[in-house]
Amino acid sequence: MAEPRISSIDGKLAEEFAAPAHVKEVKDKMAAFAQRHAEAGRCVVLITSGGTKVPLESRTVRFLDNFSSGRRGASSAEYFLDSGYAVIFLHRHRSLYPYTRMFSTVNMLDTLQFSASDSGEVVVNQQVLPNIAKVLKRYREVTNGQLLLPVDFSTLSEYLHLLKAAAQALSTIGSKAMFYLAAAVSDFYIPASEMPEHKIQSSNGPLQLTMNMVPKILSPLVKDWAPQAFVISFKLETDATILLEKARRALDTYRHQAVVANVLDSRRGYVVVVTPSTQDEVVLSKEEMKNEVEIEERIVTNLTAAHAQFITQQAG
């Protein structure tokens, strides 16, 4: 068997980004999860979600963050589960989470009340938690079926190492694996060797930072770590005029299967799914937005169909 390729990014990852202590344990868990579900005939999607945090000091007081609520990833996870996928949810610690996302702004104590019996028993006030019974039922089905494996990260280093581990763990199930890379990942970081240990002092005057470019992890993921998988990246811009060109450039560079392109302000109602040969606009009407239809449902329908076709082609 051919030796796995070692890319220069592997070296950089090892040297400049501290690996989390539990990476091996998590990798084994993800590999066992993928294997079990593939044997049961299921596809497995690895969803990344939320923003990465980049520390400015090694004993971190300050950090740079990427914007993302985690809603795209969390709601997509639910639609993938509804489509029969098993889901590894690699998410920013405390960002929105499947099912609980619907109640994330509710104060927990406001959802509870003493029962009428005066026994001190506490019950849920269903008026404050609309649909709770329905959501709880689905959540229990998913957890009892062990269909959702959550893994969390906070820093960019954790994210990079855990994504690499996930890619290698899922490589054993070949084209049944999908990567849905919706996390908002920093393009810049300060290497460990150049990071001050202690809190940067404001008494030293204005702060000037030089940050390095984060290695493009998509490249070894597609080429080396999970070469048979179906890979989707997300492209976020604030300027709509450059969005599609950037999405096409990403496809040309990394040679993966699709880019979901979106603009920050319109991301809840409009995205474009770009593949080497197609360009599908996914749009919600005003009426659909009002009725709380979620665009992730349409994105997932589009991509699961493309994934099924991809699996058939790979097998043929």
**Least CB distance from residue 153 to ligand 9Z3, whole Å?**
14
According to the binding rule CB under 6 A, does residue 76 interact with ligand 9Z3?
Answer: no
Task: Say how many residues make up the chain.
Answer: 316
Residue of 27, 37, 53, 72 that binds ligand 9Z3 (CB under 6 A): 72
Q: CB within 8 A of 316, min separation 6: which ones?
A: none
CB closer to ligand 9Z3, 38 vs 284: 284
The residue (of 67 and 116) whose beta carbon lies closer to ligand 9Z3 is 67
- Applying CB under 6 A, which of residues 267, 275, 288, 297 lies at the interface with ligand 9Z3? 267
Mapped to the 3 state alphabet, what secondary structure does 81-125 carry? HHCCCEEEEEEECCCCCCCHHHHCCCCHHHHEEECCCCCCCEEEC
Nearer to ligand 9Z3, 173 or 229 (CB): 229
Say how far apart CA 63 and CA 191 lie, in whole Å: 13
In angstroms, give the least distance from the CB of 71 to ligand 9Z3: 4
Q: What is the DSSP string of 40-91?
A: TT--EEEEEESB-EEESSSS-S-EEE----SHHHHHHHHHHHHTT-EEEEEE
Total residues interacting with ligand 9Z3, rule: CB under 6 A = 14
228 binds ligand 9Z3 (CB under 6 A): no
> Does residue 283 contact residue 269 with C-beta atoms inside 8 Å?
yes
Burial of 221 (0-12, 13-18, 19+ CB in 10 A): buried
Residue closer to ligand 9Z3 (CB basis): 156 or 184: 184
With respect to ligand 9Z3, which residue has the nearer C-beta, 30 or 182?
A: 182
Name which of 32 and 264 has its Cβ closer to ligand 9Z3: 264
Specify the residue, 102 or 128, whose C-beta has the smaller distance to ligand 9Z3. Answer: 102
Segment 141 to 160, residues that bind ligand 9Z3, using CB under 6 A: none
Window of 161-169, 207-215, 231-239, 303-311 that interacts with ligand 9Z3 by CB under 6 A: 231-239
Q: Measured from the CB of residue 19, what is the shortest distance to ligand 9Z3 in angstroms?
A: 21
What distance, in Å, lies between the first and last C-alpha atoms of the chain? 23
Alpha-carbon span 10 to 164, nearest angstrom:
9
Smallest separation, CB 21 to ligand 9Z3 (Å): 26
Using the rule CB under 6 A, is 282 a contact of ligand 9Z3?
no
* Helix-then-strand count for the chain, H and E: 9, 14
As a whole number of angstroms, the distance between CA 257 and CA 303 comes to: 10
Residue numbers 168-187 binding ligand 9Z3 by CB under 6 A: 182, 184-185
Contact between 179 and 70 under an 8 Å Cβ cutoff? The reply is no
Minimum distance from residue 181 beta carbon to ligand 9Z3 (Å): 6
Show contacts with ligand 9Z3 in window 233-252 (CB under 6 A): 233-236
Residue with Cβ nearer ligand 9Z3 (79 or 234) = 234
Cβ proximity of 285 and 272 under 8 Å: no
| Residues found near ligand 9Z3 in the complex (CB under 6 A) | 68-72, 182, 184-185, 233-236, 262, 267
